[in-house]
């Protein structure tokens, strides 16, 4: 059994990485911002060159791997995380110039108003919705990477203005006291562009962002795979779409997505993943570990989820000779109710080779 590191001990792990601490911070369920120093410490003890961040989410771990000089592939089956990964992990040097930002802030080029009509009275004031429609009327003119940077900045701006960063709340009057909640989205967008521009760099490698089910990713060629799947809670499900449907829609202007019109939040249909359900997660993890059995596997998992530490260990031992387990305290910054329930949560990090 892993002995949990004390919180003070964890705080002693600082990172030598210069860029990753300034990575544009998207409040994302299960994001690893806080454990990146410890994770990079563990990565430092493993010889590897080609890495897959297989459930990349906010992209912060893939970005840290990029800064470590590795050849990185990021994958997430949602569009907005993979857009972010393309903007800052695959992209080697393209940034948004002042003229691009001016274009994106200019009046609506074709009169589109899908966002204004669909979300009227829900998340943001009408001016903000109008800005999003207008910005999108210019997006398709932008070349690769500029486009992904612009979309990442729009998503970050929208997430920052939304209470707790989740789109389960539709009350426009809700105010959690942050200055971002009172700023126009266009100003938040300009700030976000500056942050994403600063994050762009070339690590001398050919990095990639892909957008598919991890169980479909070709496993060949990775020395190390990092798995941070949704954690299947004992009750409920770990549904990212429920929380981030607006960002997922915004990243593609809802093209190809189905809005569930009967829902108050106007969310899009759920993307099924077996990792989010306690009845399906074990079989999915077994398949995942088998698929990537040629690589060193680093797995993050939460202590109050299914399966437990013992079962995870056995699943990994089914494929790998040597399995080490580390455990770090983890505070979820999610909803007060959830946070209260998860106070004593630990996050396991398994290293299997």
Ligand X SMILES: C[S@@+](CC[C@H](N)C(=O)[O-])C[C@H]1O[C@@H](n2cnc3c(N)ncnc32)[C@H](O)[C@@H]1O
DSSP character for 58? T
**In this chain, which residue has its C-beta nearest to ligand X?**
57
CA distance 220 to 208: 15
CB nearer to ligand X: pick between 137 and 305 = 305
Query: Which one of the spans 52-60, 66-74, 317-325, 335-343 is the region binding ligand X (CB under 6 A)?
Result: 52-60
Of residues 134 and 154, the one with the C-beta less far from ligand X: 154
Peptide bond into 307 cis (omega under 30): yes
Cα separations in angstroms, 146 against 83, 91, 155, 194, 202:
11, 9, 14, 13, 15
Edge-to-edge, what's the strand order for the sheet holding 323-329? 208-210, 71-75, 50-53, 224-227, 296-302, 346-352, 323-329
CB-wise, 4 or 274, nearer to ligand X? 274
According to the binding rule CB under 6 A, does residue 110 interact with ligand X? no
Shortest Å, Cβ 336 to ligand X: 20
Q: How far apart are CA 265 and CA 119, in angstroms?
A: 8
Instruction: Kindly write out the interface string for residues 4-43 of this chain, putting x where it contacts ligand X by CB under 6 A and - elsewhere.
Output: ------------------------x-xxx-----------
CB of 234 to ligand X, least distance (A): 17
- If the CB atoms of residues 174 and 272 are measured against ligand X, the closer one turns out to be 272
Total interface residues for ligand X by CB under 6 A: 23
Residue 252 φ then ψ, to 5°? -130, 10
Alpha-helical regions (H) of the chain:
7-12, 36-44, 60-67, 79-85, 98-105, 114-118, 126-139, 146-161, 185-199, 240-250, 281-291, 309-317, 336-341
Show contacts with ligand X in window 250-309 (CB under 6 A). 273, 275
CA pair distance 172, 52, nearest whole angstrom? 39
CB nearer to ligand X: pick between 71 and 214: 214
Whose Cβ is closer to ligand X: residue 19's or residue 112's?
A: 19
Q: Closest CB to ligand X among 161 and 243?
A: 243
CA angle 58–60–64, rounded 5-degree value: 160
Residues 53-92 that bind ligand X (CB under 6 A): 55-58, 60-61, 75-78, 81
Cα gap 37→21, rounded to integer Å: 9
340's CB contacts (< 8 A; 6+ apart) are none
| Closer residue to ligand X (CB): 58 or 91 | 58
CB of 238 to ligand X, least distance (A): 8
Intra-chain end-to-end CA distance of the chain, in Å: 18
Tell me the closest approach of the beta carbon of residue 118 to ligand X, in angstroms: 22
Kindly state the smallest distance separating residue 111's Cβ from ligand X, in Å. 33
> Binding string to ligand X for residues 203 to 242, with x set by CB under 6 A, is what?
----------xx-------------xxx---------x--
Residues that bind ligand X (CB under 6 A): 28, 30-32, 55-58, 60-61, 75-78, 81, 213-214, 228-230, 240, 273, 275
């Amino acid at each position: 059994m892993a002995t949990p590191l004390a919180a003070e001990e964890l705080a002693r792990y600082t990172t030598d990485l210069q860029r990753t601490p300034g990575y544009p911070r998207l409040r994302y369920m299960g994001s690893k911002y806080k454990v990146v120093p410890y994770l990079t410490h563990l990565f430092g003890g493993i010889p590897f060159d080609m890495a897959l961040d297989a459930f990349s989410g906010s992209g912060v771990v893939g970005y840290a791997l990029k800064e470590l000089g590795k050849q990185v592939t990021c994958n997430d089956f949602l569009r907005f995380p993979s857009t972010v990964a393309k903007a800052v992990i695959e992209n080697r040097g393209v940034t948004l110039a002042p003229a691009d930002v001016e274009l994106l802030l200019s009046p609506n080029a074709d009169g589109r108003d899908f966002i204004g009509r669909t979300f009227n009275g829900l998340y943001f004031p009408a001016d903000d919705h109008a800005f999003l429609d207008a910005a999108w009327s210019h997006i398709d003119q932008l070349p690769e990477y500029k486009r992904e940077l612009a979309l990442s900045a729009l998503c970050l701006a929208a997430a920052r203005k939304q209470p707790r960063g989740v789109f389960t709340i539709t009350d426009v009057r809700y105010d959690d006291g942050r200055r971002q909640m009172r700023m126009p989205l266009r100003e938040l967008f300009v700030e976000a562009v500056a942050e994403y521009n600063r994050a762009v760099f070339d690590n001398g490698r050919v990095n990639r962002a892909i957008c598919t089910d991890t169980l479909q990713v070709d496993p060949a060629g990775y020395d190390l795979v990092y798995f941070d799947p949704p954690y299947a809670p004992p009750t409920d499900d770990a549904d990212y779409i429920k929380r981030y449907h607006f960002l997922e829609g915004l990243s593609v202007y809802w093209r190809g997505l189905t809005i569930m019109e009967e829902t108050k939040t106007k969310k899009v249909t759920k993307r099924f993943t077996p990792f989010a359900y306690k009845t399906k997660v074990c079989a999915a993890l077994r398949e995942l570990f088998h698929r990537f059995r040629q690589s060193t596997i680093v797995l993050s998992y939460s202590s109050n989820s299914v399966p437990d530490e013992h079962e995870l260990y056995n699943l990994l031992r089914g494929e790998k000779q040597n399995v080490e387990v580390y455990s770090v305290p983890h505070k979820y910054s999610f909803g007060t109710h959830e946070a209260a329930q998860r106070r004593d949560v630990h996050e396991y990090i398994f290293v299997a080779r």
